[in-house]
Amino acid sequence: MGKSPAESILSGDRKILARLLTQVENRSFEGLAALDELFPHTGKAHLIGLTGAPGTGKSSLVNQMALQYRSAANPKRVAIVAVDPSSPFTGGAVLGDRVRMRDLAGDPGVFIRSMASRGSLGGLAQTTAAVVQVFDAAGFDVILIETIGAGQTEVDIARLAHTTLVVEAPGLGDEIQAIKAGILEIADILVVNKADLPGAENTERALKGMLGLAHPVEKVFRHHGETMVVPAGEPANAALWVPPILRTIATDGTGVGELIEAIEQHAQHLRRSGDWGRRERARLEAEFEALLTETLVSKFRSNIPDIRYDEVVERMVQRTLSPWEAVKELLGG
C-alpha cells in the first residue's frame, strides 16, 4: 500500500500538498479525512496575519518578509496564504501571486496559495483556517496570512493569527484612515509601509493618536478587545503588550528586518503571558463551532422533503408565514 496524502505531505511532497489544499478548499471527503489525519501534527507554526486597505503595499511587504525569513542564518520555511474576500467572482489575488513568483520561484522552502471567496464553501474564514492547518502540519514554520481590505471577513481571518499586523501607507486619504479606527483594536503591530513617500510622518502621528484613543494613558490594551487597567505613571508589567508602530519600505526591504524582530518579540510575549495558548484555544473553538453549525444544518435539511421545504417558502412569499414562524413550524413538527 502507498502513502496516504497526509503521510506524503508530512514527508514534504509539494505536488500532493497542492492537490490536498484544493480538496480542503472544496471540502471534499478526502480533504476532511486528511485534515483529521494531519491534526495531531498541527500547533507548531507561527501564524502571522496582515491586513490593510488596498494600496498599502501589503503584497510586496509579504514578499520581502518571506525573502528575509529565507535568507536568515537559520532560515524558516514560509507559507503565504493570500485571501481576497473582495473577489467573490474572480481570482484577484492571482496577479499579486505572479509578482511574488518572480522573487520566490524555485525556493522549496516557500509555498504560496491564493484564495478568493468564490469556490470556498462554508465561509472564507473557515476555509482559510483549514488551509493554514495543512501548512502547519506540513512543517512550515511561519504562515503569512494576507487579507485585502478591512471588513468583517478580514477581521475574522485576522483572528486566526497569533500576531496581527495592520499595514498603513501615507497619502491614502482621510476616509481610509477612518476605516482603520475599527481595525486598530486587532493590531499587535502597526506598519507604516511606503515610508519613503511624503506624509509618512503624518501617518505615523495619526496612528499614534488613534492608538492613544484606543489605549488611553491609564488603560493598556492586551489582546483582541480585552483591556487591563494600569494606573497612570505605573510601569506596565511583562504581561502587557503595547502595539509598536514600525516604518518599512517593502520595495527595497528597509525596516523589514526590524519588523521580523518585533514579530519575534510578540511571539515571546504571547508564550510568556499565556496568550499563545488562549489564542490557540479560541481559534480551535471557532473552527469547531463553524463545523458543528454546518453539520447540524445539512443533517436537518436532509431530513426535510424538498416538497415540504418549497411549500414553506411559498407561504413566506405569499406573506402568510413569516421566516421566524416557518422555522418554528419546521422545528416543531
Binding site for a second copy (CB under 8 A): 32, 35-36, 39-40, 42-43, 54-55, 85-90, 92, 95, 116-117, 124, 148-155, 173, 175-176, 178-179, 181-183, 185, 225, 277, 280-281, 284-285, 287-289, 291-293, 295-297, 299-300, 312-313, 316-317, 319-320, 322-327, 330-331
Residues 187 and 166: beta-carbon distance below 8 Å: yes
Rounded alpha-carbon distances, angstroms, from residue 91 to 2, 133, 153, 328: 34, 22, 17, 40
**Residue closer to a second copy (CB basis): 90 or 237:** 90
Q: Half-sphere exposure (CA, 13 Å, Cβ side) for 189?
A: 25
**Residue closer to a second copy (CB basis): 231 or 324:** 324
Task: Give min distance, CB of 70 to a second copy, in A.
Answer: 27
Grid cell digits, residue 158? 485576522
> Rounded to the nearest 10 degrees, how much is the dihedral formed by the CA atoms of 17, 20, 25, 29?
-160
**Residue closer to a second copy (CB basis): 107 or 287:** 287
CA 148, 63, 283, 180 torsion: positive or negative? negative
Task: Give min distance, CB of 322 to a second copy, in A.
Answer: 4
**Residue closer to a second copy (CB basis): 21 or 110:** 21
Task: Give min distance, CB of 81 to a second copy, in A.
Answer: 17
Task: Give min distance, CB of 201 to a second copy, in A.
Answer: 22
Return d(Cα 300, Cα 298) in angstroms, integer.
5
**Type of residue numbered 122:** G
What number of other Cβ atoms are within 10 A of residue 230's Cβ?
Answer: 17
Task: Give min distance, CB of 170 to a second copy, in A.
Answer: 14
**Residue closer to a second copy (CB basis): 35 or 142:** 35
Query: Which of helix, strand or coil describes residue 245?
Result: strand
Task: Give min distance, CB of 84 to a second copy, in A.
Answer: 9
**Residue closer to a second copy (CB basis): 110 or 153:** 153
Write the DSSP assignment of 225-242 as a string of letters.
Answer: TEEEE--TTSPP-TT--P
**Residue closer to a second copy (CB basis): 214 or 220:** 214
Rounded alpha-carbon distances, angstroms, from residue 297 to 32, 178, 254, 301: 18, 38, 50, 6
**Residue closer to a second copy (CB basis): 32 or 105:** 32
User: Which of 270, 320, 327, 276 lies closest to 304, judged by CA?
Assistant: 327
Task: Give min distance, CB of 184 to a second copy, in A.
Answer: 8
User: Which residues, at least 6 apart from 332, have a Cβ–Cβ distance to it below 8 Å?
Assistant: none
**Residue closer to a second copy (CB basis): 136 or 204:** 136
Return d(Cα 287, Cα 290) in angstroms, integer.
5
Task: Give min distance, CB of 311 to a second copy, in A.
Answer: 13
Write the DSSP assignment of 20-43 as a string of letters.
Answer: HHHHHHTT-HHHHHHHHHHGGG-S
Task: Give min distance, CB of 307 to a second copy, in A.
Answer: 15
